[in-house]
């Protein structure tokens, strides 16, 4: 049984919009507190070594300083499973700007000044910061993020490549980049006896609750996490970072008073994760008619010595195109660097840049249209698992996008089109992202006498959950949306999984639909006041029989000045196959945001890591370049009519990440078409094109 459309598929006004416009939507630091204190972190000023001595005496003498937190008075943590979070338990330093303490004061200004007066001496040790392929300690992780196998191999890739009439063998690099949400990571912590309340900027209150409870030896019910509104995350708030632990430790010292600890923009670059830099070798072999015979994708990433994070960079390559011989691998370089983590479309974003650029290079080598090459190698089943796809709309996306973009008029010859001072080029790239549903989601439906209260610890990080989840509930209960009172963003509500991996709405919506159906079955359409049902969603057995993914196609037009090599992107077209679209207005915003981030990835973003000092030097929005309005031209977003009942009861797929996947490759491929210059290292700069 599937939900019949009523509210879904429409675009009601965002329910959170008026509160945000009027300043009544509280973000983490804005929840009213009585007599709050303020904390500021103390961070290590060496890359590797140990704290020999920490002297807080000068800071403690300052008026307004309430406490100085160090390894000597910090709460003892009971779980060291996550070394990123196991802070202030010893003096070990594994990267510059690692947390080693905090000052708690009556104002944020006093706390910041006092933190600078805490004197720390170190026993410094040599640091290892060299990221490259020539290291002798590269290792294979047991698995990569998401639980995927690190390496896969089918057939004999090397022999197939040696025998292939046409081959491509190139290395592509992507830099370290940072998430930079508009609301920095921030926490208010308050202890009441042995219970802890956290007002946090997080993508998953239940994840924070479980993690913090385990660290401090508490039962989950002793920790409450509140986050009704979050100012963006892009993955960086998907799992707890050490700043939350620091806030809880600081609050432990001050007799029940609330402690506010927001991170500065600069501190995000050390403490809140980032996308690892990658070095990727892609090898393709094909017959002259374009039939792929071999695909190999080898990935090198860096990881912190504190905590391993292996991004799943080659995963998308495993399911995109048919080839009898295939191999993918991931290797890690352990360095004294901050801990990397999730960033929008982890793995697929950098991995599909390399793979889709390589496929464009193969099309050029074959003299074949790049869309035709992709369609020619369209698989009938998942090449990795052999399972049928629940739905696979890639070919329709490519053909629809080509028509909307005007691809048929394209002359494939590089530098074949010039308008005044501008060389004009066009490029295409495909996109995919898993369409998953997370287990363990529960929802409650209660009749209050005039409305259905629907409660689940879901999150709205700017994506529209306040509106779209209400639409799902209205459809499931067969009522108008104004009869729904939605409650989200509080760990006291029924369990909701993290807003990440493009699984949020699919997972929460499945729970809401299950609870709504159970409520109707038990209480009918005229329930008694107070009637309620709480249900945990089950993952349908059909999903074990199918390979479930969303797909898309990106088209880019670029212009490059013949003298200055200035790059402009006046036009992008994106077409997606993402199941039923619940709310076209909010969906369009998600796709637009992803495509914009893809353009940013292609041309702007790079965290400049100075290996002399072990830190990012462009650690603010003045030095870390992202697009402004003038950099983004027309973006045409659309989607095909697709309903996939095998993924979830709504027939929908996640859309938060697929917009960025492949969009950078489309821009890079268009630059090659405009100039004849193939740039394989992101971001693409003016000096990559000058004089060439």
Output the six-digit token pair for 680: 């394989």
Sheet with 442-447, side-by-side order of all strands: 484-487, 452-455, 442-447, 532-536
Q: What whole-number distance in Å separates Cα of residue 464 and Cα of residue 482?
A: 16
Q: Which helix (H) or strand (E) holds 584?
A: helix 584-603
Spell 454-491 as b/e; 16+ CB within 10 A means b: bbbbbbbbbbbbbbbbbbbbbbbbebebeebebbbbbb
> 549-561 and 259-262: which strand pairing?
unpaired
* Neighbouring-strand partners of residue 26: none
Q: What whole-number distance in Å separates Cα of residue 1 and Cα of residue 6?
A: 15
Residues in the chain: 692
Cα atoms in the Cβ-side hemisphere of radius 13 Å centred on 531: 19
Beta-carbon neighbour count of residue 152 at 10 Å? 16
Percent helix, strand, coil in the chain, to 5, is: 25, 25, 45
Output the six-digit token pair for 501: 């991996």
Contact by Cβ (8 Å): 506, 545: no
Q: 3-class DSSP state for residue 507?
A: helix
- Angstrom distances, CA of residue 488 to CA of 221, 228, 457, 498, 653: 17, 6, 5, 12, 21
Q: What whole-number distance in Å separates Cα of residue 433 and Cα of residue 395?
A: 15
Q: Sign of the C-alpha dihedral, residues 122, 128, 130, 131? A: negative
* DSSP letter assigned to residue 142: S
Q: What whole-number distance in Å separates Cα of residue 371 and Cα of residue 368?
A: 9
Contact by Cβ (8 Å): 550, 523: no
Q: Sign of the C-alpha dihedral, residues 16, 20, 25, 28? A: positive
Q: What whole-number distance in Å separates Cα of residue 402 and Cα of residue 397?
A: 8
| Rg of the chain (C-alpha set) | 26
Put residue 532 in one of left, alpha, beta given phi > 0 → left and psi -120 to 50 → alpha.
beta
- The rounded Cα 264 to chain-centroid distance in angstroms is 20
Q: 657 catalytic, yes or no?
A: yes
Which residue from 533, 553, 536 is spatially nearest to 638, judged by alpha carbons?
553
Which residue from 362, 392, 314 is spatially nearest to 143, judged by alpha carbons?
314
Sheet with 166-174, side-by-side order of all strands: 152-154, 325-335, 292-304, 278-286, 166-174
Which residue from 357, 343, 366, 341 is spatially nearest to 297, judged by alpha carbons?
357
Residues catalogued as catalytic: 657
């Amino acid at each position: 049984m599937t939900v019949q459309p009523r509210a879904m598929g429409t675009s009601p006004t965002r329910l959170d919009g008026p509160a945000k416009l009027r300043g009544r939507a509280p973000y983490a630091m804005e929840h009213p507190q009585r007599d709050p204190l303020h904390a500021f972190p103390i961070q290590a000023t060496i890359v590797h070594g140990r704290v020999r001595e920490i002297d807080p005496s000068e800071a403690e003498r300052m008026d307004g300083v309430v406490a100085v937190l160090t390894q000597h008075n910090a709460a003892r943590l009971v779980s060291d499973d996550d070394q990123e979070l196991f802070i202030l338990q010893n003096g070990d330093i594994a990267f510059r700007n690692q947390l080693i303490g905090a000052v708690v004061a009556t104002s944020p200004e006093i706390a910041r000044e006092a933190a600078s007066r805490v004197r720390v001496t170190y026993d410094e040790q040599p640091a290892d910061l060299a990221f490259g392929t020539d290291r002798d300690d590269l290792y294979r992780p047991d698995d990569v993020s998401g639980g995927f196998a690190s390496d896969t191999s089918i057939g004999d890739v090397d022999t197939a490549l040696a025998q292939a009439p046409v081959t491509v063998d190139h290395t592509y690099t992507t830099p370290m980049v940072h998430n930079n949400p508009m609301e920095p990571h921030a926490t208010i912590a308050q202890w009441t006896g042995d219970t802890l309340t956290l007002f946090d900027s997080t993508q998953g209150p239940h994840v924070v609750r479980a993690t913090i409870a385990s660290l401090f030896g508490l039962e989950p019910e002793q920790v409450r996490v509140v986050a009704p509104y979050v100012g963006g995350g892009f993955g960086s708030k998907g799992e707890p970072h050490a700043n939350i632990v620091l806030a809880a430790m600081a609050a432990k010292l001050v007799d029940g008073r609330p402690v506010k600890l927001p991170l500065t923009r600069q501190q995000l670059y050390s403490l809140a994760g980032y996308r690892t830099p990658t070095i990727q070798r892609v090898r393709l072999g094909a017959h002259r008619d374009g039939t792929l015979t071999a695909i190999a994708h080898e990935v090198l990433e860096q990881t912190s010595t504190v905590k391993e994070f292996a991004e799943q960079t080659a995963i998308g390559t495993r399911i995109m195109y048919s080839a009898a011989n295939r191999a993918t691998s991931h290797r890690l370089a352990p360095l004294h660097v901050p801990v990397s983590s999730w960033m929008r479309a982890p793995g697929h974003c950098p991995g599909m840049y390399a793979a889709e650029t390589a496929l464009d290079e193969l099309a050029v080598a074959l003299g074949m249209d790049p869309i035709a090459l992709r369609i020619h190698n369209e698989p009938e089943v998942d090449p990795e698992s052999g399972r049928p796809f629940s739905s696979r709309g890639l070919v329709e996306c490519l053909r629809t996008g080509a028509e909307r973009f005007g691809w048929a008029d394209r002359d494939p010859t590089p530098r074949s089109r010039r308008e005044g001072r501008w060389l004009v080029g066009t490029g295409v790239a495909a996109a995919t992202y898993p369409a998953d549903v997370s287990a363990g989601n529960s929802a409650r439906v209660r009749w209050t006498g005039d409305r259905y209260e629907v409660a689940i610890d879901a999150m709205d990080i700017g994506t529209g959950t306040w509106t779209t989840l209400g639409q799902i509930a209205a459809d499931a209960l067969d009522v108008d949306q104004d009869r729904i009172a939605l409650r989200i963003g509080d760990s006291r509500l029924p369990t909701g999984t993290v807003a990440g991996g493009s699984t949020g709405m699919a997972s929460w919506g499945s729970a809401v639909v299950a609870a709504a159906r159970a409520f109707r079955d038990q209480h009918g359409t005229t329930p008694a006041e107070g009637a309620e049902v709480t249900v945990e969603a089950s993952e349908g057995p059909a999903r074990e029989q199918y390979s479930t993914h969303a797909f898309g196609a990106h088209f880019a037009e670029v212009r490059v000045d013949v003298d200055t090599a200035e790059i402009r992107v006046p036009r992008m077209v994106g077409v997606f196959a993402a199941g039923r679209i619940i709310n076209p207005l909010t969906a369009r915003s998600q796709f637009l945001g992803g495509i914009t981030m893809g353009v940013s990835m292609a041309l702007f973003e790079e965290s400049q890591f100075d290996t002399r000092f072990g830190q990012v030097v462009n650690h603010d929005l003045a030095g870390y370049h992202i697009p402004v309005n003038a950099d983004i031209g027309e973006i045409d977003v659309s989607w095909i009519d697709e309903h996939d009942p095998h993924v979830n009861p709504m027939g929908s797929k996640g859309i938060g990440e697929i917009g960025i996947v492949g969009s950078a490759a489309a821009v890079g491929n268009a630059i090659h078409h405009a100039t004849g210059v193939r740039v394989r290292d992101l971001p693409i700069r003016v000096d990559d094109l000058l004089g060439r």
